[in-house]
């Protein structure tokens, strides 16, 4: 029973992260992280600590037209009552356009609870190219609004 409560809380943490990203809210995103939390960006950039994450995101949002994302949670694994791992897949949304699920991003969030507050210990985004092309990634994932792609023939 408690596992369902943990899953709901971790999904809400991810939803807060996603909505703050889409609003370009560097302060709000950083506040979701543990004091010593870590962020690994889509380009592989790694940032450790809430304050460095805040500064990194402020610079990113100021200097780059970072896309927004349309995401779908794939899985939440409850490790303990204080730790859970969430995995999501996201499609890129360019300004004024529909979500593009041909460019997929796999996101992993490790959440930890300290007292009564859930926070992000690690958030990692990775492009999902697939060894045999993006269609193999789509074949293994239910993406909102798209029919499941057939796996590539060998």
Query: What's the CATH class of domain 2-139?
Result: alpha beta
Q: Report the share of the chain in percent with pLDDT over 70.
A: 78
pLDDT at 130: 59
Q: Which residue did the predictor score with more confidence, 32 or 153? A: 32
SS3 state at 5? helix
Query: Which of 68, 75, 58, 119 has the alpha carbon at shortest distance from 96?
Result: 68
- The per-residue pLDDT for range 56-74, each reduced to its tens digit, is 999 988 976 667 888 889 9
pLDDT at 38: 98
SS3 state at 27? helix
- Per-domain residue ranges for the chain? 2-139
Q: For residue 57, count CB atoms less than 10 angstroms from its CB and return exposed for 0-12, middle for 13-18, buried for 19 or more.
A: buried
Query: Quick one: tokens of 154?
Result: 């060998």
Q: Give this prediction's pTM.
A: 0.82
Q: Which residue did the predictor score with more confidence, 153 or 27? A: 27
Whole-angstrom Cα distance, residue 49 to residue 1? 33
Residue 126 makes CB contacts below 8 A (sequence gap 6+) with 40, 42, 105, 106, 107, 108
Whole-angstrom Cα distance, residue 16 to residue 14? 5
């Amino acid at each position: 029973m408690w596992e369902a409560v943990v899953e709901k809380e971790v999904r809400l943490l991810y939803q807060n992260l996603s909505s703050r990203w889409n609003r370009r809210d560097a302060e709000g995103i950083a506040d979701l992280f543990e004091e010593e939390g870590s962020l690994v960006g889509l380009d592989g950039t790694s940032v450790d600590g809430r304050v460095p994450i805040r500064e990194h995101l402020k610079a990113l949002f100021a200097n780059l037209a970072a896309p927004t994302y349309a995401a779908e949670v794939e899985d939440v694994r409850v490790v303990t009552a204080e730790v859970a791992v969430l995995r999501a897949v996201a499609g890129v949304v360019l300004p004024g356009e529909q979500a593009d699920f041909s460019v997929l991003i796999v996101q992993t969030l490790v959440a930890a609870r300290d007292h009564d507050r859930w926070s992000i210990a690690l958030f990692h985004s990775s492009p999902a190219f697939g060894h045999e092309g993006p269609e193999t990634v789509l074949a293994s994932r239910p993406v909102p609004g798209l029919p499941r792609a057939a796996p590539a023939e060998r």
